Amino acid sequence: MGCAAAACRSLWHLRTGALRPYSAYGRRISVRFTSSGMTLDSISRAAVDRIIRVDHAGEYGANRIYAGQMAVLGRTSVGPVIQKMWDQEKDHLKKFNELMVAFRVRPTILMPFWNVVGFALGAGTALLGKEGAMACTVAVEESIAHHYNNQIRMLMEKEPEKYTELLQVIRKFRDEELEHHDIGLEHDAQLAPAYTVLKSLIQAGCSAAIYLSERF
């Protein structure tokens, strides 16, 4: 989603150790988190790949949605509200960009598609007015928060002590997505035209995006 961004960078700054050379995808690497010393040698490569890839795609998509909303509503009274949420999403994307590099995770091949679709969704719902933009925010952020909760549950069912840092990142971002959800409701999301239908359609799209981004 200034002081918050600085605190986030300070709290989650990564220190990478010497990387073990490898020749094929899927081989484990030794990347160290600062506080716990967690490395990929101690966790599932496949699980981390899927989590980081899909979360990076989700945060990228959210950034494009807010970019589309700002293109339409940036100069209106709701512009500063959207900008504040977008700034937090930029921090989220920055963190996952760092994790992509640190863990050598490839991005989804669908990034160019999410680039266009995300912006179009943001701009299109903003053309319905403030209420339409906020309905989109509620739908998307609720979907992302639910997705993050599923990831937290999965990691807790494995060996949570090995996933401490990743769990902290996901929990923090989940809480901020829920804040955005509530902001959307506070700014009349439910007054958007055909709110229930619009929300259902957007969330169906989010579910499809999550499924595809995890796998491709």
- Whole-number Å distance between alpha carbons of 171 and 174: 5
| Positions of the chain with pLDDT under 70 | 1-43
Identify the pLDDT of residue 52.
Answer: 92
Which residue ranges make up the annotated binding site?
59, 89, 92, 141, 177, 180
Q: Residues 135-189: pLDDT tens digits?
A: 999 999 999 999 999 999 988 887 778 778 889 999 999 999 999 999 999 999 9
Contacts of 66 (CB under 8 A, 6+ apart): 82, 85, 86, 89, 122
Distances (CA, A) of 53 to 97, 160, 176, 187, 188: 10, 20, 20, 32, 33
* Prediction pTM value: 0.76
**pLDDT of res. 9:** 41
Q: What is the pLDDT of residue 165?
A: 83
Provide the pLDDT for residue 160: 78
Name the binding residues for Fe cation.
Answer: 59, 89, 92, 141, 177, 180
Work out the number of other CB atoms within 10 angstroms of the CB of residue 188.
16
Domains of the chain with CATH codes? 41-214 (1.20.910)
Question: Of 143, 127, 124, 137, whose CA–CA distance to 189 is shortest?
Answer: 137
Tell me how far apart the alpha carbons of residues 69 and 63 are, in angstroms, rounded to a whole number: 10
Q: Is 31 in contact with 16 (CB distance < 8 Å)? A: yes
